[in-house]
Structure formats: structure tokens, C-alpha cells
A and B are shown apart, each in its own frame.
Chain A
């Protein structure tokens, strides 16, 4: 009797948790759903009242207008090049650095690691003027390297990969060494494949960060042909977009977010696994 009451109680508890989770998810989704609905309404209607979003007519003109903006595909391409470049660079550098900090014995390792971690505490805004001047002196603005290179110094990436390599038992390295494997071979063939979940997590966050980045591309990629999608889309807004161009503004937001959404769809398995793994550990 007591056992069945316990099971019933647990069932109610689970349902309550499920209900709460669904409720929170719905609340979280509301702004996104609102943006999507508004994106299918005409600017003129929304200027008078956003309440018109709840009834027809709906239109795809806002999306059609985006595709008729001459630079938009160029901006998408630029964002793709930059995001892929930043992601690949971070994965390579962070994996190498993480392996070094986790496995290599060298003088000053701990001090250097702390210095790297201090990078987490320095906001981009604090160094952006000096960085801009440096790239100006090198005459590199409005080039892909200028947009990509600053993003490669990822303190978070180094920290994550270091911790992940540390969690892999050293016995595996030692077994490989007994088989006469070189240090690089151990890194490349043995340990790196074991870090794929961490690589996926880091890769996804790096890609999203690079895709959504606004401040640095705004002041480095200042020619329209070098705009990333975030800067390009923002440039097309009219001065009073929030009131007179709301439908177009929302369509732009949805459009700019779609590639990221697609990336999430493909990699959600890794994201969920990584987040769950982080929670358990």
C-alpha cells in the first residue's frame, strides 16, 4: 500500500515537473513566436497596432524585400567564411593548447594557464580600441583575417579542452607510448578522437558567437562588400524601424537567426549531451 502510494506520489511529482518545464519552455518561446508572427505582417499595419498580428492579412513581402537587398547573399557568405574560420581556428588552437596544459610538463605551465584564464575576465570592449588601431596600422581592415583573427584567442576554449584532456586517464597515453607512438601521434590518433563531444560543444558555441558577433565586424568590416550578416542587416533598417518598419525588422531577425537554427538542428544531440555532461560532472 505504502509502495503504491509512493509510486502515485512520484507520478504526480513527475507530471508537475513536466508541466513546469513545458510552461517555462512555452514562455521562453513566446518572444520568438511573436517575432515570427510579426514578420508576416505589413509595416503599415503594425505601426498602428501590433494587435493586428492576431488576424489576417499576412504577407511574405518582408522576406521578399530581404532577398531583393543586393548585398544579402554576399553578407551571408562573409558570415559563413568568418564563422567557419573562427570555429576551425579555435578548435585547432584550443585543442593543441588544452593538450599542452593537460599533458605536457614545462616550466611556468600553471602560471601561463592562469594568465590564459584571466583572459576570461577581460571584456572585448576594454581592448577594442587598441585592437582596432593595431589592425589599422597593419592596413588589414575590411579583410577576412581582420575579422577572424581576434576571435581565435578563446580563453574559454583553452580552459574547456584542458579540463577535458585532464579527465582522460593517463593510462591511455602510457599504453600508446609502449607501442612506440610519438607524442603527436598520441594526441592526433588516440586522445583527440576521445574529445569529440567537447570539440562539438566548443565548435557550436564558437560558431554561434562568431555568427552573432556585431561590435568588431561593425568597426572592422566597414565596406558594404565586407559586411557580415549582422552588420549588413542592421544597415538596411530605416531610422525608425521599431515603429515604421517593424514587420521588416522582425523578418530580418528571423532570417539572420535561421542559419544558427539550422546548425542547432544538426548538432542538437551534441549540445544536449554536452550540457547534460557538464551538469552531471
Chain B
């Protein structure tokens, strides 16, 4: 018995020692990200198919990578969204993470100051075929002809639709698909019909406490009219007839009470789930939540939810606002092993891009978009075109987050009638151009 105990103890010591030595042989890299922490639910999950939501899937992906890699350990460093103040502070203090998540709209602010590593050669060596990237993704991570990030998703603006209310309003076709407007006249006609039949507004909109709705919808309406409002990346042009047309459309929707008013993001998300309107213009990330809700019995969305691409209501183009999450390699004194580990992790995320697409975001690989697996996910066949039509601001435009805030504030003023449309567009143009004139 004593010998057995001794042997067991010796075995444990050897195993622990070997484990420690094995762990010590691995290269640790820090990966800074948002998406939250969910260790309680997914802290030990390595089967990614069992994870859901942004936080769950990225946590499980990281767990899986750490379990499978023989050379690398990823140490997640989780920050509050969007985390750029903290990232900038870390760069200034000389302690940046090895990898950081970054919106594609922000990359130019960092790449233009030489803070990011170009990745073309690393991707080629790692076998990442950049020709498999979607146009939206490739445009989003390319700056001055170089690739500065591993794209992770494309997220765009789309229409979440309450089919039960659409049915009540007589806006379903024989196949049970929603009848969507193809022009502004049709939009107002259908919206009035919806309001008359259901007593509810056609749109649910996030009009309070944030600017995203205004900017993203306005940009989409400009794209649909083929308005090139950033022909010069250092100057915005909102003096065009197309800009006035788009702002007028939003103002009319508001003044004719075709949308909910005074709702912030959380209120509008709940409002749609509670069946208080027909169309919620919001992002790809809500698809899965509403799909789950539609599977319940006795709720407003029971068997009556659809997500569809933003309908083209102007004859120009089906393009729609888009941005994307990506992973960047911060410039610093990395060892060869650290750099190799960083690329290994990026390659892993590239290989597992389908799993991330289950969040509702669009994949960044053409091969995944074309796959039966992806198209088999709910509503994805209806929105796959967004990966082509999703359009970001030109990559040379700096301070895109700040520009979007200003644009949203002014377009919001025009929509609500706080300012005349001309005054709001002039103010937006002036403020953005002042910002860009001072952007280094």
C-alpha cells in the first residue's frame, strides 16, 4: 500500500513537472479584445459548436486554440467596448498587447501613425489566401495597398421584420415572404397601410442617446443613390441633392409618425421583440437573439420573424453601410516566436470563421459565404448579398468613429426637426471637415 502511494505521488510529481515544462515551452501572447467575459458559462468549453453569442464563441475559440496548439498560449485581455482609449494608452506607455481586436473603420487611425504591422507576407507564409476574402473585408483591412489586419466579420445594417404584424397589415406575399418597398413612394404607401391596419408604427428606430441609427441609415441611403460623399478622403460632401433627399426621407418618416420615437438602443430592441412595430432597422448581431425568440410560443415574434437585406428604395445601387471586426498586430519588439504565435492564432480564427458567423455577423471568406453550411443558418441566404454590398467609408478617411458621431448628431437634428435639413447638413459638413483638417 505504502509503495503504491509512493508510486502514485511520484507519478503525480512527474506529470505535474512535465506539464509545467510543456506549458513553459509554449509562447504566450496577449490578445486584447472586447465582446465581454463569460467564463461562468464558457470558461472550459472547447467545443465551439456548443457556444453561442459573441462572448461565448470567442471564448470557446480561444479555449480550443489553447487546447490544440503545441506552441502557443493565448492570454485574453478583455476590455470594455470599444477599448480604444485604453489601447492608445497602452501603446503610449510602451506596453501594448501583441494582438488587439479593432473595428475596420479605426484601422487607418493607427496604421497611418505606423502603429500596426503589415501582414501580407505573414499571411502568404501561413497559407491564408487573401483572394478568398470578401470585397468588404479586404477593403476594410487594406490601407495604402497593404493588409493591416485579419478580418473577422462584416456587420451591416438590415431589416428585422415582424412577419405576424406584416400579415395583419396585408404585407405578406403568397409564399409568406414580406412585401418590401422598391421606392420611396412604396415605402410610404406600405408604411401608412401598416399603421392603418395594425395601429402601430411601421418602423422601430433607435433615436435616443446614440447616433448610430442616423449615420448608418443615412450612409445607406446615400450609397443607394450612388452619392460619393468622400470623393476626397480629407473632405466630406453633404451639399449634394442626394444628401438632401436622404435627410428629407428620414424627416418625413419621423414627422408622419411612421416610426417609434424617443427610444434608446435597449428600448428599441425590446420594443421590436414585444411586437410594437413592423421593421427594426438594426444590425446583423441581433439575428440570433430574435430567431431564438421566434421559436417560443405565445410571444410577439412566435414563428413570425425574418431578417432581410436593406431593401433598395433608390435606383442607384443595393449598397449598404458596413463595418467589420478585425485583429491587428501591434508594432513593438516581438520575438520571432511571438510573431509566429500571433500569426498562428490569426490563421486559427481564419480557419474557424464559420463559427464566428453563427453570431449573425457575416463571414469574411467567400468560400464560407458560398458554403451550404452557412446558407443553412437561419436567414443567411437572404442576407449573404450584404457581404458584397456592405460598404465602408474609403480606407483613407481618418477619424471614422468621430465622423460617424458628428454625422449622426446632425442627421438626427434634421430628422427630428430640431434643425432645417440645409442647416444640419451644412453643420455636419463643416464640423467633419474641421475635424479632418486637424487629423494627423
Contacts and interface: CB of A to CB of B under 8 A. Distances in A.
Contacts of A133: 92
A220 B89 contact: yes
Interface string A36-48: 0000000000011
Given A136-B93, A239-B36, A223 B266 contact: no
Contact of A245 (B36, B40, B95, B285): B36
A136 B92 contact: yes
B432 to A, nearest CB: 23
Contact of A49 (B40, B43, B274): B274
B395 to A, nearest CB: 23
A139 B94 CA distance: 8
A235 B37 contact: yes
Interface string B295-311: 00001000000000000
A275 B11 CA distance: 66
A132 interface: yes
Interface stretch (A63-71, A152-160, A183-191, A192-200): A63-71
Interface string A118-137: 00000000000000110110
Interface in B231-273: 264-266, 269-270, 273
Given A132-B92, A239-B81, A48 B293 contact: yes
A96 to B, nearest CB: 32
B75 to A, nearest CB: 9
Contacts of A47: 269-270, 273, 289
Given A222-B86, A238-B54, A239-B81, A49 B270 contact: yes
A25 to B, nearest CB: 28
Interface in B51-85: 53-55, 77-81, 85
A173 interface: no
A241 B293 CA distance: 18
Nearest to A135: B93
B218 to A, nearest CB: 22
B47 interface: no
Contacts of B39: 68-70
A218 B85 contact: yes
Interface residues of B, number: 36
Contacts of A65: 38, 40-41
A237 B40 contact: no
A213 interface: no
A237 B78 CA distance: 9
Contacts of B177: none
A223 to B, nearest CB: 7
A65 B37 CA distance: 10
B34 interface: yes
Contacts of A236: 36-37, 78
Contacts of A235: 37, 78-80
Contacts of A104: none
Nearest to A138: B93
Most chain A CB within a 10 A radius of its CB, from B43, B90, B265, B266: B266
A247 B5 CA distance: 49
A100 B394 CA distance: 61
B86 A219 contact: yes
A3 B361 CA distance: 78
Contacts of B93: 132, 135-136, 139, 141-142, 222
Most chain B CB within a 10 A radius of its CB, from A142, A218, A238, A241: A238
A170 to B, nearest CB: 49
A13 interface: no
Contacts of B81: 237, 239
B35 interface: yes
Contacts of A268: none
A113 B140 CA distance: 55
Nearest to A50: B270
Nearest to A62: B40
Most chain A CB within a 10 A radius of its CB, from B37, B53, B77, B79: B37
A238 B273 contact: no
Interface in A252-276: none
Contacts of B299: 48
Given A48-B270, A48-B299, A219-B89, A69 B94 contact: no
A86 interface: no
8 contacts: A48-B270, A49-B273, A49-B274, A142-B93, A218-B86, A237-B81, A240-B265, A243-B270
Interface of A: 47-50, 64-65, 68-70, 132-133, 135-136, 139, 141-142, 218-220, 222-224, 231, 234-246
Interface pairs A-B: 7 shortest CB-CB = A238-B36, A219-B89, A236-B37, A68-B40, A65-B40, A243-B269, A234-B80
